[in-house]
């Protein structure tokens, strides 16, 4: 006995793909001008016949032609892929715009506002430095910036004047691995300077470096030439971007983090840099500074 939904001999029927609600029949359309008939819905599989297409039960209890079902599924997959691709392209475009222009705009506006807001603190710190020790208020040193270009790095002086000349005498006290030189209780640091360091007030003049385009608000900390000379090839990738005032290293423990992990964090930032990441680092910098963790 033939299934109810098969074409009768002599008629050229093909199943039309539909997505009926449960309990509704599928109306097939003939190709020879005959009116269509309602095929009952049931959990059946339509066998192949001469001039008919194999049908499979769909999720609603109806039938779909194999060919049409595959085409429908392919179209759905293609639409989902296209939507995902469009979203990805939008995200890449937005990120590309931020790295090309948005980041610099954020730097210029943010650094200018920060310099205006912190100017009273800067004036008080400058007076304290002058009252405690002889020498200039600002400490200038050569640092390596983007693409290996040197620039003059600004900080409030936290050490006695001419401290760089005594560094070689203290090399045996270095507490950092790698080419970085840091001492927790550095004897060259003044009393005022120690307070400026643990509160990061000594970093305020670097907003000028940001305004000049030599640095960014967020980016790897700028190294001195002697450190760069000892970098391994993979570590030179830190110089692919502008150095920054704050970075992942700053909010992750600072001087308590080993040199290799420090480099890894910088390269991770370079790989993932975006507006969202920069904003996240800037927000997290405030509690990191207040906690004074790893600052010396």
User: Mean pLDDT: which of 50-64, 111-125, 173-187, 279-293 is highest?
Assistant: 111-125
Q: Assess whether pLDDT exceeds 60 at residue 1.
A: no
Higher-confidence residue of 272 and 30: namely 272
Residue 284 has pLDDT above 60, yes or no: yes
Tell me: do 7 and 95 sit in the same domain: no
Q: Are residues 11 and 47 in the same domain?
A: yes
**Do 121 and 177 sit in the same domain of this protein?**
yes
- 106 and 208 housed in the same domain: yes
Give the C-alpha separation, 143 to 121, whole Å: 25
Residue 77 lies in a domain: no
One domain for residues 99 and 24: no
pLDDT at 267 over 70: yes
Which of 10, 42, 61 finishes a domain? Answer: 61
DSSP labels, the chain: ---TTSPPTT--EEPPP--PPTTPPEEPEESSSPPP-EEPPSS--BPP-TT---EEE-TTS-EEEHHHHHHHHHHHHHHHHHHHHHHHHHHHHHHHHIIIIIHHHHHHHHHHHHHHHHHHHHHHHHHHHHHHSSS-SEEEEEEE-GGG-EEEEEEE--B-TTGGGGGGGGGGG---STT----TT-TTB-HHHHHHHHTTGGGTTHHHHHHTTS-EEESPPPPPHHHHTT--GGGGGGGGS--EEE-TTTTTTGGGS-HHHHHHHHHHHHHH--HHHHHHHHHHHHHHHHHTTT--
- 45 and 176 co-located in one domain: no
* Beta-bridge partners for 216: 244
Over 50: is that where the pLDDT of 11 sits?
A: no
pLDDT computed for residue 248 by the predictor? 92
Domain-located, residue 159: yes
> Which pairing describes strands 29-30 and 13-14: parallel, antiparallel, or unpaired?
antiparallel
**Mean pLDDT of all residues in 198-210:** 96
Percentage of residues of the chain with pLDDT beyond 90: 49
pLDDT of residue 50: 47
Average predicted confidence (pLDDT) for the chain: 78
Q: Are residues 137 and 10 in the same domain?
A: no
Instruction: Give the model confidence (pLDDT) of 23-79 as tens digits.
Output: 444 444 444 444 444 444 444 444 444 444 444 444 444 444 566 656 666 666 666
Does residue 285 share a domain with residue 160? yes
Q: Are residues 162 and 260 in the same domain?
A: yes
Count of C-beta atoms within a 10 Å radius of residue 177: 11
Q: Which domain holds residue 23?
A: 1-61
Q: For the chain, what is the domain count? A: 2
Q: What is the pLDDT of residue 252?
A: 87
Q: C-alpha dihedral over 167, 172, 177, 183, to 10 degrees?
A: -60
* Domain co-membership, 162 together with 280: yes
pLDDT, position 184: 79
Q: For position 75, what pLDDT does the model report?
A: 63
Task: Give pLDDT tens digits for 84-137.
Answer: 555 555 556 666 889 989 999 999 999 999 999 999 999 999 999 999 999 999
Residue 178 pLDDT class (50, 70, 90 cuts): confident
| Residue 182: predicted pLDDT | 79
The C-alpha atoms of residue 142 and residue 271 are separated, in whole angstroms, by 26
Same domain, 17 and 109: no
Q: For 289, list phi and psi in degrees, rounded to 5.
A: -65, -45
Q: What is the pLDDT of residue 165?
A: 78
Render the burial of 202-213: b for 16+ CB within 10 Å, e for the rest: bbbbbbebbbee
CB 158 within 8 A of CB 199: no
**61 neighbors 19 (Cβ within 8 angstroms):** no
pLDDT higher than threshold 70 for residue 139: yes
* 191 in a structural domain: yes
Residue with tokens 């989902």: 80
Q: Indicate whether 260 belongs to any domain.
A: yes
pLDDT at 6 over 90: no
- Asked whether 217 and 246 are in contact (CB, 8 A), the reply is yes
**Does residue 74 form part of some domain?**
no
In a domain, 259, yes or no: yes
The whole-number pLDDT of residue 91 equals: 52
131, 230: one domain:
yes
């Amino acid at each position: 006995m033939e299934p109810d939904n098969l074409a009768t001999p002599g008629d050229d029927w093909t199943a039309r793909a539909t997505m009926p609600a449960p309990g509704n029949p599928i109306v097939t359309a003939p190709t020879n001008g005959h009116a269509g008939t309602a095929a009952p819905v049931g959990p059946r599989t339509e066998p192949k016949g001469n001039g008919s297409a194999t049908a499979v039960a769909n999720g609603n209890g109806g039938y779909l032609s194999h060919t049409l079902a595959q085409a429908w599924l392919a179209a759905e997959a293609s639409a989902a892929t296209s939507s995902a691709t469009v979203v990805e392209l939008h995200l890449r475009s937005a990120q590309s715009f931020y790295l090309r222009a948005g980041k610099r705009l954020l730097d210029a506006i943010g650094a200018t506002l920060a310099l205006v807001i912190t100017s009273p603190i800067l004036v008080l710190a400058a007076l304290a430095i002058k009252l405690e020790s002889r020498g200039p208020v600002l400490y200038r040193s050569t640092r390596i910036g983007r693409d290996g270009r040197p620039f003059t790095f600004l900080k409030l002086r936290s050490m006695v004047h001419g401290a760089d000349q005594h560094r070689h005498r203290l090399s045996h006290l270095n507490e950092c691995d790698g080419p970085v030189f840091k001492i927790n209780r550095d004897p060259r640091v003044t009393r005022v300077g120690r307070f400026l360091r643990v509160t990061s007030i000594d970093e305020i003049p670097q907003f000028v470096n940001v305004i000049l385009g030599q640095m960014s608000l967020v980016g790897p900390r700028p190294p001195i030439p002697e450190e760069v000379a000892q970098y391994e090839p993979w570590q030179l990738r830190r110089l692919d971007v502008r150095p920054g005032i704050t970075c992942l290293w700053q909010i992750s423990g600072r001087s308590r983090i080993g040199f290799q992990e420090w480099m890894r964090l910088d390269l991770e930032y370079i790989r993932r840099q975006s507006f969202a990441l920069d904003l996240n680092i800037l927000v997290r910098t405030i509690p990191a500074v207040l906690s004074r963790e790893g600052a010396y």
